[in-house]
Amino acid sequence: MARRFTGSFTQQEPLPADAIAAAVAVLQSGRLHRYNLVSGEPGEVAQLEAEYRDWQGSAYCLAVTSGGQALQIALRACGVRPGDGVLTNAFTLAPVPGAISAVGGNAVLVEIDETLRLDLDALEARIASSGARVLLLSHMRGHLCDMDRLMRLCDGAGVTVIEDCAHTMGARWNKTRSGNFGKVACFSTQTYKHMNSGEGGFLTTDDAAIAAQATILSGSYMMYARHGAGPAPEAFVDARYDMPNCSARMDALRAAILRPQLAQLDGNVERWNLRYRAVEAGLKTHSRITTIPLPKEELHVGSSIQFRLPGFSADQCRALMDAAKARGVELKWFGAAEPVGFTSAHPSWRYVATQDLPQTDRILATLFDMRLPLSFSEADCTLIADLIRDAVDEVAP
């Protein structure tokens, strides 16, 4: 075989030097807990919350241990109780229905369309048939649906929208940041997301009551005054008694390494998109490969790329995985019968009631996914696209 890619699809860039220095300073202090502060010290977590609030353009921000915990806290703060139906995408990652299940809700799955986005006609029908009044909207793999139409639909039906922005930190729809449409937004800083703290996340909102409930839920031990982007004390009058402590606080070490990364995030969005465009341009030249269209209203964050191979059988899809791997290209396939790594589909979520989703199943059957870490160069991305085309030709000449 003449050409092979030798890079790693899981190797992220090193953390910035100032992030490493900040981490060392926290370690030397010994004060890793967010509330373990000396007199007059704001603390790394409170400073990060204020900086992220200002960057996002929201009224309030809460830093937590993971994006998944942010989802669970948001659902609880928005009033989801055991037995309640919660609408969400049929195509998403397992932590989304997992969060619904964790708070005792019942996931009501909504079909996606050919562009991997929530099918808004199907959503309207599911709202009417299910009676669910909360939508946990997953911006899966960075693809924003028509947010203007979605909000008109949900506002008209009295449906509260929680945005899962794990894949859209920095994305925009009609110049509005992802996360600033619904009642609450949840973000992830897990290693493979847009900032890297290993695990971590944020919850943002403009609603003081929800911010107060979320803060108590995160485990503030009545130290909510030490938060950097929280509501006024009067917002906590009831929340401090009503909300359970779920111990989901971000620590000072993670906050210290995230603050310098936040300063670089807007520049990194463009770097990801250069890599995305390089792969996309190469894939578009092959007649068998269908890429995912990006609407003109959307500013995408291309930290991963997806494509479909309509007409491929399951055997051909498996063969493509092997042919790509032989060339050093690591693809994920959402049509596999069994969950592999982060790729799972709704039939394998046994904690969710079985639901008939023929449109989603047809789309996932030939859907492939690939990470685009910033450790790749643009030349790497051009080569990877060439190798995928070669693999497709080998499987289906």
End-to-end Cα distance, the chain: 17
Q: Identify whether the C-beta of residue 178 lies closer than 8 Å to the C-beta of residue 144.
A: yes
What span, in angstroms and rounded, lies between the C-alpha atoms of 377 and 302? 14
- Kindly state the average pLDDT of the residues 330-353: 92
| Residues 368-387: tens digit of each pLDDT | 999 999 999 999 999 999 99
Write the pLDDT tens digit of every residue in 99-123.
Answer: 999 999 999 999 999 999 999 999 9
CA 278: distance to chain centroid? Answer: 23
What the block records as the tokens of 122 is 């199907």
How far is the C-alpha of 207 from the C-alpha of 225, rounded, in Å? Answer: 17
Kindly list the distances between the CA atom of residue 280 and the CA atoms of 7, 306, 363, in Å, as whole numbers in the listed order: 19, 9, 19
Q: What pLDDT does residue 339 have?
A: 87
Tell if the pTM clears 0.85, that is, is over it. yes
Mean pLDDT (whole number) for 216-240: 96
> Which tokens go with 307?
């494509």
Dmax over CA atoms of the chain, in Å, equals: 70
Which residues on adjacent β-strands are paired with residue 134? 160
- Number of Cβ within 10 Å of residue 372's Cβ equals 22
Q: What was the pLDDT predicted at 341?
A: 85
Helix (H) or strand (E) holding 139: none
Q: Which two tokens stand for residue 185?
A: 């937004």
Q: Which residue has the tokens 């964050």?
A: 301
| DSSP reduced 3-state for 96 | helix
CB 197 within 8 A of CB 225: no
What is the β-pairing status of strands 184-188 and 290-291?
unpaired
Is pLDDT above 60 for 316? yes
Going from the N-terminus, what domains does the chain have, and what CATH number goes with each? 17-259 (3.40.640.10), 265-395 (3.90.1150.10)
* Beta strand segments in 95-158, E: 106-110, 134-138
Of 62, 67, 118, 50, nearest to 89 (Cα)? 118
